[in-house]
């Protein structure tokens, strides 16, 4: 998967640049090397750097507090709090996006709330680091992070590691499924395109260990993807799934999940 999701969704003609480490990540590294607030930490920045570090810490603590308490009932209040925060640099924007993504993938039952929060923030812009006069928005930052998280389950053809590495640890696999659930919610809110979702399906269908992700995606947004114009493509996907159940190579658990997805389509995606 070479195209950046943020570029595809923006219909951009160039790939998005990789973002540098966030202020939060740099802060952790400084604390490990020097000790929190140690004199050597401040040699080249003086009190201004110390103030910036404290301000960053306070920001992430506030965001964490909002994410811990947000719910459908408190959503509007949470968004009012979020929009008052001083998110004015690329590092801070990326740090906030990372916190939201982390909460979404580790709490997939609440991914709808975090996706809606992302939708509200998607137009937030800050100056682009190292590019005077340019800006970067929350949507691009978040989609790049989501793509990186999703692609942890895959390898390029020239890599030696097995694709099934994503399933080695149950916790890692559950986190990856949480990522799939979150990107489905982002798609429902028009933050991701159909083409990106088809690309995700194609990638997952190539490995049996990742079929649970296919089932998760199709159970969530299969109805939206399965329209008349896309019927030939969707027919192909479902034929591949049906073939898996007939081959008998997949585990009984996987076959059961696939059968449920096939039944859902036969019933025209009516639960």
**What integer pLDDT is reported at residue 30 of this predicted model?**
44
The CATH code of the domain at 195-271 is 1.25.40.180
pLDDT over 50 at 15, yes or no = no
**What integer pLDDT is reported at residue 271 of this predicted model?**
77
79-126 pLDDT per residue, tens: 999 999 999 999 999 999 999 999 999 999 999 999 999 999 999 999
Burial of 183 (0-12, 13-18, 19+ CB in 10 A): buried
How far is 201 from 236, CA to CA, in rounded Å?
11
20-52 pLDDT per residue, tens: 455 555 533 443 444 433 333 333 444 454 555
Tokens of 75: 């959503």
Of the two residues 206 and 146, the one the predictor is more confident about is 146
**What integer pLDDT is reported at residue 8 of this predicted model?**
64
pLDDT over 70 at 178, yes or no = yes
Q: How far is CA 65 from the centre of its chain?
A: 20
CA distance to 62, 100, 182, per residue, from 106 (Å): 19, 10, 10
Q: Confidence band (pLDDT; 50, 70, 90) for 144?
A: very high
State phi, psi for 54 to the nearest 5 degrees. -60, -40
Where are the chain's structural domains?
5-143, 195-271
How far is 205 from 213, CA to CA, in rounded Å?
9
State phi, psi for 119 to the nearest 5 degrees. -65, -40
pLDDT over 60 at 54, yes or no = yes
214-248 pLDDT per residue, tens: 999 999 999 999 999 999 999 999 999 999 888 87
In this structure, the number of other CB atoms found within 10 A of the CB of residue 117 comes to: 20
């Amino acid at each position: 998967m070479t195209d950046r999701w943020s570029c595809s969704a923006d219909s951009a003609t160039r790939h998005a640049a990789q973002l540098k480490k966030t202020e939060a990540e740099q802060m952790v590294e400084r604390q490990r090397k020097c000790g929190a607030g140690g004199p050597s930490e401040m040699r080249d920045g003086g009190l201004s750097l110390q103030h910036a570090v404290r301000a960053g810490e306070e920001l992430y603590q506030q965001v964490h507090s909002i994410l811990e308490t947000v719910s459908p009932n408190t959503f509007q209040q949470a968004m009012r709090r979020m929009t008052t925060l001083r998110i004015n640099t690329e590092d801070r924007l990326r740090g906030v996006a990372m916190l939201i993504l982390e909460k979404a993938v580790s709490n997939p039952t609440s991914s709808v709330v975090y996706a809606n929060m992302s939708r509200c923030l998607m137009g937030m812009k800050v100056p682009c680091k190292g590019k005077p006069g340019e800006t970067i928005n929350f949507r691009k930052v978040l989609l790049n992070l989501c793509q990186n998280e999703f692609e942890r389950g895959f390898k390029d053809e020239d890599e030696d590691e097995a694709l099934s590495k994503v399933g080695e640890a149950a916790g890692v696999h559950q986190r990856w499924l949480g990522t799939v659930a979150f990107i489905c919610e982002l798609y429902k809110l028009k933050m991701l395109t159909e083409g990106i979702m088809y690309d995700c399906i194609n990638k997952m269908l190539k490995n049996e260990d990742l079929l649970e992700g296919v089932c998760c995606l199709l159970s969530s947004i299969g109805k939206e993807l399965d329209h008349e114009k896309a019927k030939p493509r969707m027919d192909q996907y479902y034929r591949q799934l049906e073939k898996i159940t007939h081959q008998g190579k997949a585990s009984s658990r996987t076959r059961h999940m696939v059968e449920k997805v096939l039944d859902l389509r036969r019933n025209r995606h009516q639960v």
